[in-house]
Amino acid sequence: MTIDQPQPFAPRATAAELDDLRARLRATRWPDAPEDGGWSLGTDVGYLRELVEYWADGFDWPAQEEALNRLPRFRTSIDGLGIHYVHARAVAPAGPVLPLVLTHGWPDSFWRYTKVISLLTDPAAHGADPADAFDVVVPDLPGFGWSDRPAGPLNSIAAAGLWARLMSRLGYERFGAAGGDLGSHVTRYLALDHPDRVVAAHRTDAGLPLFTGDPAELTQEERDWMREVQSWGATEGGYAAIQRTKPQTLAAGLTDSPAGLAAWIVEKLQAWSDCDGDVEKAFSKDEILTNVTIYWLTGTIGATMRMYQANAAIPPAQLTRRVEVPSGFAIFRGDVVRPPRAWLERTTNLVRATEPDRGGHFAAFEQPELYAQELREFFRPFRTAV
């Protein structure tokens, strides 16, 4: 067996790692906070205290770890970079099986798709048509989760190239691709750079807009949206500014303090999900802490932030390329910077666009049934293309 061949993977935290985590949590030095500040200045310190107390004395990581390890998880090496992924095959399909690679974003990992894997591989077990079964591949981006950290900058274009090679290694020459957040970028470049292999591409966002033409060519709807994006960036974009410029400064604190790490991540779960301000309407404490504990145990927060720096260096000519592969979008109601249809038509070969009335930026986790149904319906016409 060569090092490149996929090998089963089931990581387990040691007792020493968990003891160290709990000791750090119990020794947290808490910041002050203005009275009734809530989430207005960032993470609500009162909620964070509650979360950290549960993390230290109630959260059962071994049980969550066992659930994750029941998934068919593997590692393989591509160009010397270890890639962790889930590879779940269709169960009792009733027609052509479409391979599908799902790419997560930040601040998460393959965790984003853990609820939808069985919905996609075994639709019949969930009341859906067995003809809609997929072979599902869910990798951790390099530097995220249990994939290796790249030695230097690695952007979404490079990640797309790695996924194309991964799918070849798994025996899939043609496949569908889907993603959100950073995963939307990777899916876009898979479609741009490998159009002979990607039968169709589905995304839950269109990223931040870049337009280099005559503004008069834009519709009023598009111009209004771009102003909205600028306003959002001014009030909500501080995280991105530091992650694309000085990520190592922040990484020093977040790698040392689990409470700080939780604060950085849970603020985005609260702000970007469809939860009406109450993060636990979208995620349970166990779900939040599973995501955060993956970051803590793998020590990857710095590497994940550096991908923002790598993506910031992508030339504008790459960012303005039009996707000609058939494209679909599900723009969930509770997501941020929701693009108008005119922009989707301008930038892609749009064949389907929907606006589900529930779910936010982490739609695959927040509303797995809705998300799975979106993928089934979008990819249905492309199954015979593999």
Residue 181 appears among annotated catalytic residues: yes
Sign of CA dihedral 210, 346, 355, 318: negative
Tokens of 344: 């989707």
Find the catalytic residue in 239, 295, 308, 371.
Answer: 308
Active-site annotation holds for 308: yes
Residues 6+ apart with CB under 8 A from 131: 93, 94, 95, 383
Q: Which of 181, 205, 274, 335 is catalytic?
A: 181
Given 113, 189, 361, 371, the catalytic residue? 361
Whether residue 185 lies in the annotated active site: no
Please identify every residue annotated as catalytic: 181, 308, 361
